[in-house]
Amino acid sequence: MLIHGAVDNDIHPPRAGGTQRSFGIYRGLARGHGVRVLCVVPNRNRAAREEVVAGVTLVRRGAWYTSAAWRLEQAGLMPMFVAAHGHRASAGRLLEALPGPADVLAQAKQLYEQRRDDTESFIMGGISDAARQRLQRDHVSWIVVSGDALRRISSSAEPWRKTSEITVYRISQ
For residue range 65-119, what is the model confidence (pLDDT) as tens digits? 888 888 888 898 888 777 788 888 888 888 788 877 766 667 778 888 898 888 8
Query: Domain total for the chain?
Result: 2
Query: 7 and 57 in one domain?
Result: yes
- Given 100, 119, 149, the domain boundary residue is 100
- Given 79, 100, 121, the domain boundary residue is 100
The CB-side HSE value for 106 (13 A sphere, CA atoms) comes to 8
pTM over 0.75: no
Query: 96 and 119 in one domain?
Result: no
Query: 79 and 15 in one domain?
Result: yes
Query: 7 and 27 in one domain?
Result: yes
**In sequence order, which residues have a C-beta less than 8 Å from that of residue 58 and are 6 or more positions away?**
10, 11, 12, 37, 39, 48, 50, 51, 52
142 by DSSP, 3-state: which?
A: strand
Query: 96 and 125 in one domain?
Result: no
Query: 113 and 44 in one domain?
Result: no
Q: Around Cβ 92, how many Cβ atoms within 10 Å? A: 8
| Residue range 107-155, pLDDT digits in tens | 778 888 898 888 888 877 788 899 988 888 888 888 888 877 777 776 6
Query: 140 and 74 in one domain?
Result: no
| Residue range 5-48, pLDDT digits in tens | 988 889 999 888 888 999 999 999 999 999 999 998 888 888 99
99 by DSSP, 3-state: which?
A: coil
Query: 36 and 116 in one domain?
Result: no
pLDDT at 172: 66
Q: Could you give phi then psi for residue 50, rounded to 5 degrees?
A: -150, 135
Query: 64 and 34 in one domain?
Result: yes
Alpha carbon distances (Å) from 89 to 26, 43, 70, 94, 127: 26, 17, 17, 10, 47
Query: 113 and 45 in one domain?
Result: no
Rounded Cα distance between 58 and 52, Å, is 6
pLDDT at 61: 92
pLDDT at 57: 94
Query: 118 and 92 in one domain?
Result: no
- Given 73, 100, 127, the domain boundary residue is 100
The domain of 47 spans 2-100
Query: 110 and 96 in one domain?
Result: no
**Strand-pair partners of 168:** 144, 161
Q: 18 near 93, Cβ under 8 Å?
A: no
